[in-house]
Structure 1
Amino acid sequence: MKKTVCELFAGVGGFRCGLNSISTIEDASKPEKWETVWFSQWEPADKKTQWAHDCYVNRFGTCLDLDGKDTTNEDINAVEKAKIPEHTLLVGGFPCQDYSVASTLATSKGLEGKKGILWWDIRDILEAKNAPFVLLENVDRLIKSPASQRGRDFGIILACFRDLGYTVEWRVINAAEYGYQQRRRRTFIFAYRNDTKYAKKVLEEANYISMHGDEMHRHSVAKIILSNGFFATSFPVDPLDAKYVKIGELPKGIGELSESFSFTFENSGVMLDGKIYTAKTVPSYDGKQITLGDIMETGDVDKQFFIPREKLYYTSPDVTHSDETKQKLTKEERQTWQYLKGAKKICRTAANGHEYVFSEGPISLVDEYDKPARTMLTSEGSFSRTTHIVRDKQTGDIRLLTPVEMERIQGFPSDWTKECLVNGETVEMPVNKRKFMMGNALVVNLIKQMEPVLSEIVESEG
């Protein structure tokens, strides 16, 4: 089976970099282990320049559909799914949204979700192209959303896979817990068609086929979760007694599931023929830990990233709390990083006139070298409580992260997002856009770690 890929919601190519072990910009021009036959990247907020798409094209070139047209920068809702080239592996990091549906059909055939919900485009592509393997990434809260009906959204996704003839494994992975440079928790989904050799191999190795009854299946599926499944092979976990594997079942109809299904999914699990097996696993890793200090630039850094003292502190650097129930601060004092990241007490009035005190605790003003970076968000670099602030390695002065450091935190090559190909011309991407791209990306290192297992699976299909 050929190692061909369709990359959805491609961003600046995180899955492609991971699958092809791209560590430098020069690597992008070398022959690839996995052939990307089509990708899709469209950002509705970018009205003039599609920065992510144009960065991707600058590094990799474009792909044509089966009609010979370039539809890679169109709204995926409007793309004719049948025109997407055939592929062995479908990948993508899709947004976390409300997945509820308006239909009460017994199966997902003809099902329509809410307009603009991108999961339904993935589902339509799976129905049209029938890819043997699927690898998806999403935020960690996917398995718990929405708050009003815990697990419903993930249940809908699993039921769609069930109705299309797939088995699904999932794992919530924190990159730092496997030695990487960012504390970033994300849900990964690996689905494989039930008629693949791999599906049969996994079930046979776990003795699932020869066993009957929930309790027997609980013990056999525990092997998939803990030792011989895709994620267990790629990212080992500590042993766990099979009695801690929880069992559930998806309703037959997606509409019924949308209206009433609720389930507590744990961070690891398997879905087989509508049966859910899930357990809370603990990573097993005792290797090197990459830290923020390991990836920081050591040379001269542009002065635009340094923070003036008046923007850093409004009073003594030792102060980590402000109490405005006693004395209000000025606007200028609030526009400092010391205030933003410090603990606060503020008198507020609710819409109904009720007065209350808002409070929040302090967080570290400066991120230390000896730990992995915190989760990087799309707001990175803006005046935000979650933005990283570091001490420059050369001067010791306090500054924001550079775009190169953000790329390294996500496991991309240095300066990967520096340039784009816009209307045939090479253009530098604005710094704020580079920051957004990285806040929106995945940790490439995790895909690199999965790739050898993926390769073996696909090559064994013959």
Structure 2
Amino acid sequence: MIQNNEGRYERSCRLFLSAKRRLIAATIQFFDLFSGIGGFREGLRRAGNFVCVGHCEVDTYADKNYRLLFDTEGEWYCSDARTIEPERMPDFDLLCAGFPCQAFSIAGKREGFADARGTLFFEIARILEAKRPSYFILENVPGLLSHDKGRTFCTILSTLSELGYHVEWKVLNSKDFGVPQARKRVYIVGYLDFRCAGKVLPEPETNGAALVQIRAGSQGKRVYSPKGLSCTLTSQAGGMGGKTGLYDVGVPIKENTKLG
């Protein structure tokens, strides 16, 4: 056990020094896990000085779009996170992972770790333990925080802490970052260097804009003006009121759901 811990420490030191050299050169290499069509990657591309070394996505249609949007020539790829062999992956400084949210969302059955999709978090932990990147950014629905009275999130934080990472988290809303849509997500940021503490997540000003509808219609056909906010990407999800068009312009979705 002592030898294993010493080996892990030595590897962490080597990777940290390698990451530090790349930071000095103003580039950060990242791996895009559960990549979807590339939300994380596009954000890092816009930020600049980030280089993607590979991605993983099980949905063939999402992956097809990902490859159309980004130049993936020569990058490492695996379709299923559960089959990743870390020793075959390239080294990287940052792991990005918007892990599947259906198991924790209030729009679903909220089965958590009892849902196979919910257990995919432990694939993230497995990769972090093996590759020891200096940083990670995880993303999920806010329902993750309250699932099973907070026990699920406690398990996640404990797992990341046991791996040696300092962790911060915060619920951010897309409407506060110039996007004409109210969409809350919890972001979990981890780092090995304690000097990063308190300097990671932003403190945005709240955008109080209201819904502005420019075209009426049924769900999926309704159009909102970018001068206002859309309450969601689509209301064709599961849960109570899914696929029914329960809300009107200016009335919160949850309130209309209560009213039936």
TM-score by shorter chain over 0.5: yes
Q: Which residue of 2 aligns with 1:235?
A: 203
Task: Name the Cα RMSD after superposition.
Answer: 3.6
Pick closer, same or farther for the CA change 1:4–1:119 going to 2, 3 Å: same
Residue 167 of structure 2: SS of its match in structure 1? strand
Match of 2:195 in 1: 200
Offset of residue 55 of structure 1? 1.0
Query: Which residue matches 2:65?
Result: 55
Q: Distance in 2 between matches of 1:230 and 1:15?
A: 16
Give 1:170 shift.
0.5
- C-alpha separation between the residues in 2 aligned to 1:42 and 1:387? 33
Larger % of helix: which? 2
Match of 2:135 among 130, 133, 136: 133
In structure 2, how many angstroms separate the alpha carbons of the residues matched to 1:235 and 1:126?
A: 27
* Structure 1 residues 388 and 160: alpha-carbon distance in aligned structure 2, compared to 1, 3 A threshold: same
Q: 1:368 to 1:88 in 2, by over 3 A?
A: closer
Q: 2-side partners of 1:182 and 1:290: how far apart?
A: 10
Separation in structure 2 between the aligned mates of residue 191 and residue 292 of structure 1, nearest angstrom: 37
Aligned counterpart, 1:385:
244
Aligned ranges 1:367-382 → 2 under 5 Å? 369=225, 371-377=228-234, 379=236
How big is the shift at 1:99? 5.0
Query: Is residue 50 of structure 2 the alignment partner of residue 34 of structure 1?
Result: yes
8 A contact 1:181–1:291 mirrored in 2: no
Q: Sort the Cα spacing of 1:116 and 1:161 in 2 relative to 1 into closer, same or farther, 3 A.
A: closer
Q: CA deviation at 1:56?
A: 0.9
2:81 aligned counterpart, secondary structure: coil
> How far apart, CA to CA, are the structure 1 residues paired with 2:119 and 2:67?
25
Regions of 4+ moved over 2 Å:
61-65, 96-101, 113-116, 177-180, 288-293, 365-371, 377-380, 383-390
CA distance in structure 1 between the partners assigned to 2:196 and 2:171 by the alignment: 24
Q: Which residue of 1 aligns with 2:77?
A: 71
Q: Deviations over 1:128-164 (max 9, x none)?
A: 1001111111001000003xxx111111110111100
**Helix, strand or coil: the match of 1:6?**
strand
Q: In structure 1, how many angstroms separate the alpha carbons of the residues matched to 2:73 and 2:112?
A: 29
Equivalent position of 1:271 in the other structure: none
1:5-404 aligned within 5 A: 5-21=30-46, 33-43=49-59, 50-62=60-72, 71-72=77-78, 74-96=79-101, 97=103, 98=111, 100=113, 117-146=119-148, 150-193=149-192, 196=193, 199-200=194-195, 202=197, 224=198, 229-231=199-201, 234-236=202-204, 284-285=205-206, 337=218, 369=225, 371-377=228-234, 379=236, 384-386=243-245
Change beyond 3 A, Cα 1:11–1:114: closer
Task: Tell me the percent identity.
Answer: 28
Retained in 1: the 8 A contact 2:211–2:231?
no
Structure 1: gaps (5+ residues): 23-31, 44-49, 102-112, 203-223, 237-283, 297-305, 313-336, 341-364, 391-462
Separation in 1, partners of 2:74, 2:245: 40
Sort the Cα spacing of 1:152 and 1:58 in 2 relative to 1 into closer, same or farther, 3 A.
Answer: same
Question: In terms of Rg, which structure is larger?
Answer: 1
Distance 2:212 2:92 in 1: 37
Q: How many matched pairs?
A: 211
Change (3 A) 1:35 1:378: farther
Tell me the TM-score normalised to structure 1 length: 0.40
Cα distance in structure 2, aligned partners of 1:18 and 1:290: 25
TM-score (norm 2): 0.68
SS in structure 1 at match of 2:87? helix
Aligned-pair distance for 1:178? 4.4
In 2, Cα distance between equivalents of 1:371 and 1:79: 43
Distance 1:387 1:77, change over 3 A: farther
Q: Deviations over 1:201-227 (max 9, x none)?
A: 53xxxxxxxxxxxxxxxxxxxxx4xxx
User: What are the superposed Cα offsets for residues 41-98 of structure 1, whole Å, 9 maximum, x if unpaired?
Assistant: 112xxxxxx1110111122233657xxxx533x2111121221211111112111335
Instruction: Give the residue type in structure 2 aligned to 1:117.
Output: T
Query: Which residue identity does 2:164 align to in structure 1?
Result: G
Query: Residues 90-118 of structure 1, C-alpha deviation per residue, up to 9 Å, x if partnerless?
Result: 112111335549xxxxxxxxxxx968721
RCO higher in structure (CA 8 A, sep ≥6): 1
Instruction: Name 2:108's counterpart in structure 1.
Output: none
Contact 1:367 1:389 survives alignment (8 Å): no
Residue 37 and residue 387 in structure 1: after superposition, are their counterparts in 2 closer, same or farther (change >3 A)?
A: farther
